Each structure stands twice: as structure tokens, then as C-alpha cells.
Structure 1
Amino acid sequence: MGIQTAMDRITESASIIEAMRAADDLAFEAGRDPGVRTLRVLSAALSADDDLAAIAAVHALAEMNDEEAARLLSSLLSSPRAYIVEHAADALGRRPARPEAIGRLVRLVADGGFAGMLAQHTLEKWSAGAAELLAVALETACTGTLSPDARARLVETMGLVRHPLAVRPLRAWASDRSAPPAVREAAVAALGQRREPVAISTLEDLVVEGGAIGELARLALIDAEPAPTAHRADEGLTVAQLFLHADIDPSLSSAGSGDNGGIATLLVRLGDALVAEPAAVQRVLTLSRGTTAQAGPDLLRVAGGETGHVYGHIPLSAPPVTSAAAWPLRVSVRRGIRRLLRAAGRVDVLHLRMADVGSLAAADVARELGIPTVFTVAPDPHSVIASLERSGTLTREAFGPADLTEHFWFRTHLVQSLAASAAHSVFFPRPSLERDMHALVGIDMTSHPERHTVVAEGVDLDVVDRAVARARQAADGAGHTPAIAELAALLDALPAHRRRLPLLVTVGRMHRIKGMATLVQAWADGPLRDAANLLVIGGDLEHPSADEREQLDRIDVTVPAPERATRGLLLTGHRSNDVAAEWLAAARFGLPGRAESGGVYVCASLKEEFGLAILEAMATGLLVVAPDSGGPATYVDDGDTGFLTETADPAKLITATERALARAAAGDDGAAARARDLVAARFTIQGMAAKLAPVYESVALSEAELQRAAEQLV
């Protein structure tokens, strides 16, 4: 189409998402015709006011086999626009090493953050052809005046340089007891990636030292060992699943805290259901974040061939960071995932679900170990971008600064990359699934439909049914379970006149996407406050993350903490899935003298790809208020089992909630029964497992056929 036409498609596109997709064509045209005019068109875009066009031009420069284009791209590392620097650091990884750029990339690594991760990734790619230059540059940089964390990042990067020159400084840093702990730990972990005898000898000496360094050296020695022999071919399937940003355990004790949202609950229930199915899956390995102390025992269980649902922890430094801030952990995350998957002996399928650093690192490991992946494709952040653009919050002219914090460009391309490399793609139900996938993500689901499967998420109906039975008994005056007693104590803090009102309930993470503060504002500033009390379940209130703090600060502006109970607001923090289920059921039936029956569940999320908490509320018989796009629109019968609305509009959210409260007050048990029957028929965790097990089996069989074909050619 020509470079100018390709650029016009970006600048004249009707939406941000359309412009981002058109950037691929611009890059293709730049690579096809790397001439003087192409360079002029891209240079003009870099100096214009359209952030999208400028970012697209940066990535197009990387596709040009042209010395002048390469020099321009390198010079962008010194741009006064931070978002241009970030994208240049990423784009340079697709070019051969540029000596003049190494120093600036090293400085970005030292500075840390998302840009530092991108710069480190580029330097890792360059280490194949410029290892000596990188080793010298990194060692020299470490002699300067740096913070311990900055030095640790450079030491970690030195560990990625595959050259004997890197071994000597790594050994020195690892053995230096006067060095900051972060520096020593980075060096010890890096030595585990080396096979040189002197590196192994150093690690063995450090094991004797004991303490945190000794534990880490022991793990590094495991990393340095040859891969164990795979399990017998006649054993059942081993499926690995990953969600890095949660503390996942069988009891779901941290559900709703930090990033421990519905996905953490889902993976526990799903893993149990998969191994309980009379199907091919014999072992499920669920990976999440953890500590160095947990990593050793986990490896023993995994390597011992334990079947059933097994948990493995990837050791990360405390305190936990949010998913948005976790990108700089790419190398340590990759190392931890690799260690566990190698210990498993043979992993038949790795299921990835998020466009985050965990999936980025796991995809690298899967390629290295030859493990096929299944990827659950969701238009995230595509849906968020579209929603923010519709509301006027995000514009193409101000896209760059927004991208600095949200990493929209990188994450959308990561979704495309993970989907393209997956052996099979899984999709959530959506009202216009094929159209949305094509328009937002660029996936044609009609092409090779055998590689695409629509799978609804599911809830554990046994847990919900037990919760309903207990809440019904409490409403009839029977004794309280511990969960109901805890809720009763919370409600006792309300003024007497407010204990005659029903409950609005919401469950989820304290994150701006989940709309907790938005819901509190809509409730507090309008007629809803006089009609119901508001129960917000989720978040770590004692030690909030940055995302949780942002939501809590917004809530406190609307309802100051000392006034919460007086005004009818209850912030409980996170609770286990079982406790949350009982509280949802209690909102439906009420608690005598503390809460009226006829409560309503409200989800004020900016977007919900599926909405497990909404389904759990429906299964208890609660009427729900939910977003009118994404997954909920496929299962909420608007006006019957709930009300769909544009949750980003407070007025519409209030109106929908008022309608739901009025409907609930009328006591329509038929709607409750229909909601529960719908969940039982279509959205159980057992049904989800039954749908996924054949997918895993087909992927494993296809991979085995490919392996046999390859062996015949050797």
C-alpha cells in the first residue's frame, strides 16, 4: 500500500485500537521499502503531535534495513519524551546490536521500571552477537555510584550475557559478604544459569554459608543441573497453569487481597475438578508467587511425581508487587517457572491466561522446553482502551503518557504474540465474539476453527448451595455459622435505623478497573444510600497495595473512615471464597434485626471479560447489576435475573441498582430459581473442566505427532 498510505491509515483511523492495529502494516511497509522517503515519513510522524503515529514510527524504524534508520532509532533513547525512550528500547531488540546504544540501555536497566525491563530484554538479545561489549559495559557500570537495587539489576543483566567474561565478576559479587544482599542474590541466581565448573564450585561454597544466600545457592545448583528424564509416555497428562500475581493455596485464604481476584479462586477449583474428571489429566501443576523457603519443598513434591493437584511457588522478593509493577521481575520469574517445569519431568500443556509478566516469561520457557501452550484470549487491554476512549479519558494525542503507566501498546502486542504462538486458543463467551475478536485483537476465529474453543468459566455450585442453606437457616432464626456470625457482628456496628435496610454487595479486588470507589460514590451521593447499606468485600485494608490505596483514598474522600458505619458503608477487606458465598446468600435472605431481605449484587467494573463473582451471586439467587458488555451480557437476562448497564456512567449505574432493589423487594423467587438453574446448566467448574480436558488432550496428541515426525527426519 505504500508507506504514506500506511501512515494515513493510522492518523485517520476512527479509534485508538484501529490505529494500533494499522501500525503493523506501517512496520511491514517500512521493511519492504527502507528508502529515503520512508525515513522522511517516519521522521515527520515522530515530530508531530499524534502520539500513536509517533509510537508506530518508532517500531517501523526497527524493521528498516538501513543504517540511517538504525542511527535515528538509537538516538531516540535520548528523547525528552519518556514514552518514546521506552518504545525505542523495545524496538532496538529487533535490530542487530548498536554499540552507541549500549550505554544508554545500561542506564535504563539501572533506573529500573518497565523501561528497564525492555532495555534488559534488548541487551539479552544482543548478547549473542556483542557479548564482550556488554560484559565490559555492565562491569564498568557496576563500579559507579549506584543504589543497591540498581547494581542488582545490572548484575542480573550480566547473568544474561553468555560469555566466559561474565563468570568472573558474577563469582566475585556472589562471594562478597560486604556487598548488599540484593546484589549478592542477583549474582547467585545468575550463576545457576552457568555450567562452568568454577561457577558450580562457587555455588557449592555458598550453600555451606547457609541463610538466605545458602537457600538461593541451593536453588541455583538445581538450575545448573541437566534437565531430569521425562516421565513415561503412558502416564496421564500433566497440565500446568499459571497466575503469578496471587498467593494461591488450596484454602483460598488470600482471595480478594491485592491481585488475588477471581482467577486465583478459579485455578484452585479448576485444578481440583480436572484431576477429579474421569479423563486424561492426571496431574495439574498450579504456579504462583511465593518465597525462597517455599520453593525447595515445592520442587521435591513436583520432582517426586506427585499426582493430583500440585502447587508450585515461584520465589519473588517481598513484599508482593502488583501486576502492573511486576514487569521488572521478568528474569527471576522466568527462572522460577523454568525450574518448576523442568522438575516436573514432562509437562504436556501449559495454559496461559493473562498478558502479564508471568505469561511473558512462561512463553519463553515453553519455547525453550518445547511445551505447547493454550492461551485464553481476552481483549484486554483492548476493551479498556475502547472504553476509556469512549468516555473521553483517553485520546490519541495524550496516548503516550497514559501508555507509560498502563503499557497499553506492549500488552496488546503481547496478547497477539501469545495467541499466535499458542497451539490452541480459548475464548470467553461474548455477545459478538467473532466480530470483537477480529475488530479488537485481529483474530479470525473462522480460520482453523479446530484450534479455537469457547469455554465459559465456572463456579463450584456445591460451595454456593451450602452457603444458601446456611444463610436460609440463619434467616429463619437458627444458629449462626462462624461466617454468618462475623457478618452479624459487622452489621451490629450500623445505626439501628439502618439495620432495617437490605444490603448492596460487591466482591472483588480493590482496583480501579473493578470500580469499587465508583460504586461507593454512586451509592453515597444519591438515593441509594437511603435505600440500602453497602457491603464491599475485598482488598487488604491493613497493608494495601498501591492500587488498593488509590481506591481506598477515593472512598475516604466520599465517606471518611470514621463515618462509614454511621452512613451504612461496610468495608470488610478480603475474605475466603466460602465466607464470601455465605455473605452473598445472607444478603438475599437477610439477617433478622440486622439486615432486611432483598439484597442486590452490584458489579461496577469498567469491564468484565467474564465475571465469576457475578455468577456466584446469581447462583445464590441474588439479583445482579452488571456491565452491559463482555461476558455478563451472555448470561444475565436483563430485567429478569439482573440488570445490565453502562457501569462507567454513575447515573445509569444508580438507575439500574434502584430497579434491582425494587425488583428484589417484590420477592420473585422464580427469578432466583432461574438464575441458579442457569448456573447449574452452563457455568459450573465441573463443566469447565469437562470442556478443557479434551482441549488439553488434543494439544498433547498433536504435539506428540509433530515430535514423531521430526524424529523420523533425523
Structure 2
Amino acid sequence: MDVRAALTDVRSSATILDGMRAGERLEDVARSAGPEVVDHLVVATTDPDPITAIAAVHALGAHGSATAGAHLVSLLGDERAHVAEHAIDALSGVVAQAAALERLVRHCAEGGFPGMLAARTLERWAAASPDAVEHAVTVGLASQGDPAARARLVEVADDLRGGVGEATPPPTRGGPGLTVAQLYLHGDLDGSLRHSGQGETGGVATLLVHLGDALLHHGARVDRVITISGSRDAAVADAWGAGATTGRALSQSLAGSGHHYARIPLTGPAASVSTAWPLRIQARRGIRAVLRAAGRVDVIHLRMADVGSLVAAEVAADMGIPVVLTLAPDPQALLAAREADGSLIRGDFGDADRVEHLWFRDRLLRALADQAEHLVLFPRPDVERSIERLVGIDVAAQRQRVSVVGEGIDLAALERVAREVSGDAPRSPDTASALEELTAVLDQLPPHRRGLPLAVSVGRLSPVKGMATLASAWLTEPSLRERCNLVIVGGDLDDPTPEEAGEIARIRQVVPTDDAAGEGLLLAGHRPNATTTAWLAAAHRGVAGVCAPDGVYVCASLKEEFGIAILEAMTMGLVVVAPNSGGPATYIEDGVTGVLTDTTDPRRLADAFGRALELASSPGEALRTRRSRAVVRERFGIDTMASSLVEVYAAVAARQAATSLPRAITS
């Protein structure tokens, strides 16, 4: 295939994802093509189709010639912001361009996603041209008066010089079993899950806490789990700044067997997964310090195409630590769904990409998959074909390094809470406190609404979780509003992140603050996981004088790769509403244990909501509960998940010991 044919494939691609895959083929062609193709690519960067223009920009970077580099420099000033942004990234593939240095330094000072890309490009150029790059940053710093901009440039300058405070002494560690590191940068994790539902601390955070404990239950095969997360706690930052948790102290804190929590200090404004890219240097420095202090780490498990995985993969490659990747089609599945329902059209891709970084995240996920020693897939209908269609990876051709593993929950703990709530067992202080909190929340309701069943939804206040859509569907359908109260659990209502504030505002557009409780809508904010699960049990069994039995759980997510909270609700006996794609479609019996629907369509969501209420109040509650719990017990217990992953980790560690040849990420 020549460049013109490859460009034609991009332009004529049937879907956005097809165009992105064709763009990768265009890069492959350009990489080995002669100088004559540059003119064709330059013309293609002016194409009105944003997919073609972006693909051509990256093909110039793949070509790598000085001529291609010069054209990329000119694109830094392109009036199409998405083209200019991708030019910053594509420049990392060519030799240092003196004409671009000042502009890239300026982007670093301004920050944001373009600033991250610019710093990354400068870092790659510095490998061959350190003096020129360092001089440009120094000049930019001298001319910069804004304190925030200066801080960003100081961080870049320190990083180019190799970072500060990263060295740690040789650690000691005991125990013959494996050491497994796992990462979720966007939640402040600890064993009590006290931040659950706050900011980005959602289902992944709950999973890692429980999984880390469960991995240690498999004899001596795993004797240490290190869960790494980000933290904006001032005490954590002060401790790192004072050296109390770096160097030898950090090494000693991670040395023994057990489940350790390593919290990396993150500075600057609170950021969501989609806006956290400027944390790249901070996160990499912190992850490197933790992994160095940990001593031998046998495997690190990464789970998403975010800034944490980006830098953790780089550190792992440098240190020879093999990577296991949970390969979920994010952002690809949501992108495909939005294009299918018309909410994202090809002509608007450039604008959407500037906000969501879809092209970069797609390439990052594929690069992570290429580096990983083993891939873990979520159960989903026709999983192999689905991954190939959405991500462009043929997992059927590499089954020896692929496992399908469902996520897991602590069934025994949940069933204990259910018994306590129903009165079949003495209530623990935690459960009693949780029910008192629920009573306080429901006391906001007017008298005529007290005692109705509850519809509950638990999750981050993020547009992808669909909380505003759920509130609208409930409010605008009288038969729903009259039959139940709606309780939304999640989010920091007192100090919301920008993403949380946006979703709260969308909910308030549906029901103003002063009217919400009167209508039956209650925003409960984030609650510890133990509190949330007690509320789910209460929604199912009811609590005298507080709420009637036969409530439901509603997941209105635009996509749900698996659904930890859904499984928790099923374990408590609740009928659930969930997306009819992704993980939930593999474990919910439609019309029996729940209702599957197209959650992107508010009318279908409302209809499914109503059918769930009918199902919950129909005869056969005990049978439904047994069937729901049987699914969880047989397939999705946390120990089942841990057992499967221990086999994966052991095999990966054995291969690494035999080869010791890490593969570097190339995105």
C-alpha cells in the first residue's frame, strides 16, 4: 500500500474508529516511505475531515524526516486547535526542531493537556539534544513572571535534569511469595474506603482494596501487595516534602508482608481522569520512588488508559517490571456508542478530541497492550470479536497471553450486612451507624413521601455515569416519581471537582436545590463503602418507619465495563437496571434479576426503571435473590478473581525471570 491509498482508506472509513485504525496503517506506510510522500501528507493535513487531518499529522511524525518536522512546526500555529495540538505530539517522532523550542516551552508554561504533550516532546528531544532543550527551558523560565507558569517550567527543568529526590537506598524485604503492585492514581485509597464515591474514587478503588487483601489469602504465593494511589491530603504532601515517607523510611514501610498503601502527593487543582494529564511528571516521580523503595516487584497491574498507566508503564519498562493490563475498550466503546446514536459526528471529532483526548487515549491503550506481558479482559458478549472491533487488537491470535477474568466482590461481608439490616443478625456499630445516616437523609423528605421504596444509584458524579440523565428520567415520568424516592450516592457536594460541579449543575437544572427533597430526589454525596452497602440492603428489605421494601438499583451509565456496584446491589437482593452492553449483559438475567436497556436513551431508561419496580414488587423475591447471589458466588466473588489473577501473576513472573527482557512503551 502506498501513502495515497492509505489516505484514501482514512477518508473513506465508515466510522470514526475505522478511521483511527486506518490512520495507524497510514503511519506504518509513512514510516518506511521516501521523501516524495511528505507533500501528499502536508496537503492531507488541510483536509476538512478532522480524522484525515489528524492522521496526516501523525503520519508526518512517523515519517520522521527533517522536512516532515519543518511542516509539523508550521502546524503548531494552525488555526484549527485540534491540528495544532496533535502537531505537538507528532513532533516527538522527529529530531529536535530549533524553530519549535520556544513555542513548546510556552505550552509547558501554560499547562493543560497541550503542556503535557509539549513536555513529553521536549523530554524525547533532550535525549539527543540536551543542551538546546535545557537552554530553551531556562530562557522561558527567565522570561516568565506568573508563579504557576514558573512552577510548571521548574518541574519540567527538574525532570530534564533527571528529577529530584527520587533516589532511595537498597531496601530489604522478606517473604518468598510474589510482590504485586497495583495502581489507581485518581483515588486516595486506604483500607477503610472512607473516600469512596468522592471525586474519582469509584468502583476501581473499591476493587483494589478488596482484591489486595484477597490476593494474600492464597498461601505463600503472594506475600505483598502494594496499592499505589494519588493523594491531595496536605499531611501526605508534608511527609513527602520532609522526607518522612521517601528514601529509607518509605522502603521500611513497604518491606514486610501484607497489603501496603502508598499514597503519592499530587499538587495543583483537583483533576478528573480526563484532566489529570498535567500530573505526568509528579506521578512518574512518585511511582518510581515507591517501586524503587519496594525492592523486587514481580508484576504491576495497570487498568486504564490514563496518565497513571502512561507513566507507570514507562517506569516499569525502565526497571524491568512486567506489566499485566486489564484491557477494556475505553474510550472506544463510548466513542462508538456516541457515533451510533448521533451525539458525536465525524465533523465534530476535532472539538470532542480536544476535550476528551480520544485519539491519544486510543493509541495509549494499544501501546500499553503491546507492552504488557499479559492481557486481562472483562467478560462481555462475544468478547474477542468485541475487542477486535473496538480496540483493533486480535486477541484470538494471542490467546496464550490473554485471560478473561470477572471482577469480584466480598460476598460474605455483603451477606453479613444484609442479615444485620434485616434483623437476622445483631447489628454491628458500622451497620447501625449507616442506618442512622440513611434515616437522617430520608428525614429531608416531606411526610407524604416517607415510607416509599427507594431507587438507589451509586457512583461518581461524572457525565459517563449518567446521574443527571437518571434524575431527569425519574422526574419527568410521573409513574416513577409517585412510586419511589430516588437516592443518588456519590460525589463531593461540599467541595466538588469541576467534573462533579458540572454534573451537580445538570441535576439542579432538572430539580432545583430547594425543591429536590420535596420531589423525592436526594443527593447523599459520597459515603464509605460499608455505609453504601447497608443502604442497598435497606432499599431491598426496607426499614420500619424509614423506607418501604422492594426498592431497585439503577445504573444509568453510558457504558459499564463491569459494574462492581451493580453486583453489590444484586447481592443485597435488589432488582437492577443496567446497560445492555459490556459486562452487565453477561450476568444479569433480563426480566429475572434485572432489566437491561439502552441507558443512552432517556425514554428507554425510564421504561426499564418502571419495569424494574414492577419486577421488584412481584412474587418470587426469595428466588430472585437466590439467583442473583448464586451468580455472584459462582463467578464474581473476590476470592475467585484473586485466584485467577494469582495464576496470571505467577506465570508472568516466571517468564520474566527466564527472559529479563522488558519491552518499552512506544506511544
TM-score class, shorter-chain normalisation, is over 0.9
Tell me how far apart the structure 2 counterparts of residues 50 and 644 of structure 1 sit (CA, whole Å): 36
Describe the shift of the 1:667–1:147 C-alpha distance in structure 2 as closer, same or farther (beyond 3 A).
Answer: farther
Shift of 1:279: 4.6
Aligned counterpart in structure 2 of residue 347 of structure 1, from 297, 311, 316:
297
Could you list the per-position Cα deviations for residues 36-82 of structure 1 after superposition, in whole angstroms to 9, with x for gaps in the alignment? Answer: 3x233323322221001000000001122543322111111111121
Q: Which of the numbers 484, 491, 495 marks the counterpart of 1:539?
A: 491
In 1: Cα distance, 2:109 partner to 2:462 partner: 29
Residue 492 of structure 1 pairs with residue 449 of structure 2: no
Structure-1 residue corresponding to 2:211: 270
Which residue of structure 1 lines up, in the alignment, with residue 513 of structure 2? Answer: 561
- Measured in 2, the distance between the counterparts of 1:667 and 1:228 equals 64
Describe how 1:112-511 pairs up with structure 2 within 5 A: 112-162=111-161, 192=164, 220=165, 223-225=166-168, 228=170, 235-290=176-231, 291-295=236-240, 296-299=243-246, 300=249, 302-303=251-252, 305-317=255-267, 319-473=269-423, 481-511=432-462
Name the amino acid aligned to 2:238: A
Q: Secondary structure at the match of 1:240?
A: strand
d(CA) in 2 for partners of 1:64, 1:664: 60
- Conserved? CA contact 2:64–2:93, under 8 Å: no
Is the contact made by 1:334 and 1:365 (CA closer than 8 Å) also made in structure 2? yes
Q: What is the distance in 2 between the residues matched to 1:548 and 1:615?
A: 24
Sort the Cα spacing of 1:135 and 1:652 in 2 relative to 1 into closer, same or farther, 3 A.
same
Report SS of the residue matched to 1:380: coil
Contact 2:171 2:252 in 1 (8 A): no
1:159-215 per-position Cα deviation (integer Å, ceiling 9, x unaligned): 2335xxxxxxxxxxxxxxxxxxxxxxxxxxx662xxxxxxxxxxxxxxxxxxxxxxx
Amino acid paired to 1:228: P
Give the corresponding residue for 2:527. 575
Cα offsets for 1:448-479 (capped at 9, x unmatched): 31211111000111221122112212999999
Which letter does structure 2 place at the counterpart of 1:238? T
Report the CA distance shift for 1:493/1:354 in structure 2 as closer, same or farther (over 3 A).
same
| Matches of 2:143 and 2:268, distance apart in 1 | 27
**What TM-score do you get using the length of structure 2 for normalisation?**
0.94
Mapped pair 1:608 → 2:560? yes
Q: Deviations over 1:285-313 (max 9, x none)?
A: 00001232344554525435121001111
Partner amino acid for 1:676? R
Question: Is the CA contact (8 Å cut-off) linking 2:73 and 2:99 kept in structure 1?
Answer: yes
Supply the distance in 1 between the matched residues of 2:538 and 2:173 (Cα, whole angstroms). 48
Q: How many Å separate the matches in 2 of 1:98 and 1:524?
A: 57
Shift in Å, 1:28? 1.4
* Identical-residue share of aligned pairs (%): 47
Q: Distance in 2 between matches of 1:302 and 1:511?
A: 36
Q: Is the 8 A contact 2:322 2:662 kept in 1?
A: no
CA, structure 1 residues 681+477, in 2 after alignment: closer, same or farther (shift >3 Å)?
closer
Range 604-613 or range 287-296, more displaced: 287-296
Which residue, 473, 494, 498 being the options, matches 1:522? 473
Which deviations, in whole Å up to 9, do the C-alpha atoms of 1:619-640 show, x marking residues without a partner? 1110000000000000001111
Deviation at 1:345, TM superposition (A): 1.0
The residue number in structure 2 matching 1:648 is 600
Q: Is 2:656 aligned against 1:703?
A: yes
1:532 aligned partner, one-letter code: C
**Residue identity matched to 2:442:** L
Alignment counterpart, residue 670 of structure 1, candidates 623, 640, 643:
623
Structure 2 contact 570–576 (Cα < 8 Å) conserved:
yes
Letter of the 1:473 partner, please give it.
Answer: G
**Which position in structure 2 is the counterpart of 1:29?**
29
Question: Secondary structure at 1:159's aligned position in 2?
Answer: helix
Q: TM-score, normalised by structure 1?
A: 0.88
Partner SS, residue 423 of structure 2: helix
Q: How many residues align?
A: 651
| Compared CA separation, residues 54 and 478, structure 1 to 2 (3 A) | closer
Q: Kindly state the Cα deviation for residue 362 of structure 1 after the two structures are TM-superposed.
A: 0.5
Where does structure 1 lack aligned partners over 5 or more consecutive residues?
163-189, 193-219
Name the structure 1 match of 2:85. 86
Distance (whole Å) between structure 1 residues aligned to residue 62 and residue 438 of structure 2: 60
Aligned partner of residue 384 in structure 2, secondary structure? helix
Unaligned ranges ≥5, structure 2: none
Task: Tell me how far 1:138 sits from its aligned partner.
Answer: 1.4
Instruction: Select between 81-90 and 239-248 the one with higher mean Cα deviation.
Output: 81-90
Deviation string for 1:243-269 (max 9, x for gaps)?
Answer: 000010110000001000001111110
Give, in whole Å, the separation in 1 of the partners of 2:662 and 2:68.
42
Deviation at 1:229, TM superposition (A): 5.7
Match 1:634 to one of 583, 586, 606: 586
CA contact (8 A) 1:475 1:589 kept: no
Report deviation, 1:496: 2.1
Note if contact 2:171-2:293 (Cα within 8 Å) is conserved in structure 1.
Answer: no
Decide whether the 8 Å contact of 2:167 with 2:289 is kept in 1: no
Q: Which amino acid aligns with 1:494?
A: L
Q: Which runs of 4+ in 1 moved over 6 A?
A: 474-480
- Output the amino acid matched with 2:534: E
Measured on the aligned residues, the alpha-carbon RMSD in Å equals 2.1
Shift of residue 378, structure 1, vs aligned partner: 0.4
Matched residue, 1:180: none
User: Is structure 2 residue 8 aligned with structure 1 residue 8?
Assistant: yes
Moved more, 76-85 or 538-547: 76-85
The whole-number CA distance in structure 2 between the counterparts of 1:575 and 1:327 is 27
Partners of 2:171 and 2:201 lie apart in 1 by 34
For residue 472 of structure 2, what is the amino acid of its counterpart? Q
1:117-173 CA-partner distances (Å, limit 9, x unpaired): 0010010011122111122211111121431111112122222335xxxxxxxxxxx
Cα 1:354/1:143, change in 2 over 3 Å: same
Q: Deviations over 1:300-347 (max 9, x none)?
A: 254351210011111211553222221111111101000010001110
SS at match of 2:387: helix
User: Conserved in 2, the CA contact under 8 Å of 1:540 and 1:548?
Assistant: yes
**How far has the Cα of 1:616 moved from its partner?**
0.4
Q: Assess, with a 3 A threshold, how the Cα gap between structure 1 residues 107 and 277 changes in structure 2: closer, same or farther.
A: same
Residues 349-358 or 386-395, more deviating: 386-395
* C-alpha contact 2:556 2:578 (8 A) present in aligned 1: yes
Cα displacement string for residues 408-440 of structure 1 (whole angstroms, at most 9, x for unaligned residues): 000000000000000111110011100011111
Q: Match for 1:103: what amino acid?
A: E
Task: Name the aligned partner's letter for residue 632 of structure 2.
Answer: V
Q: Does the CA-based 8 Å contact 1:303-1:345 persist in structure 2?
A: no
